[in-house]
Amino acid sequence: MEYGKRIIFDPSNGRVLNYCLEEMSGNLQEGLRPESIDFIDLPYGDTTLRDVDAYHVDVQTRTVVVDSYREHTLTYEELQQQLLIAQGVI
């Protein structure tokens, strides 16, 4: 059996709660423990959130809305490939 990612969110505003379910103390942000929660299950292998930095849920359509993507950092191999192309080696 395979399970995809489960996104737990506040149904009143679509705020994703996956990262604030552990024990906490101190000066906490309001709304981290809403009265009710809802969830969306993404299929196993889904790539919707692969390069996503921040997202929320549209509570009307129950779909993921991407707020920002991670900036891609070139790997050593990618840089080496670009250098070889620039030098005309490949």
pLDDT tens for the chain, 90 residues long, are 999 999 999 999 999 998 776 777 777 777 667 889 999 999 999 999 999 999 999 999 999 999 999 988 889 999 999 988 999 887
In a domain, 1, yes or no: no
Counting the structural domains of the chain, the total is 1
Distance CA 2, CA 9 (A): 22
What's the domain range around 82? 6-86
In a domain, 29, yes or no: yes
The secondary structure element, H or E, covering residue 81 is helix 76-86
In a domain, 26, yes or no: yes
pLDDT at residue number 22: 72
Residue type, 9: F
Give strand pairing partners of 6.
Answer: 41
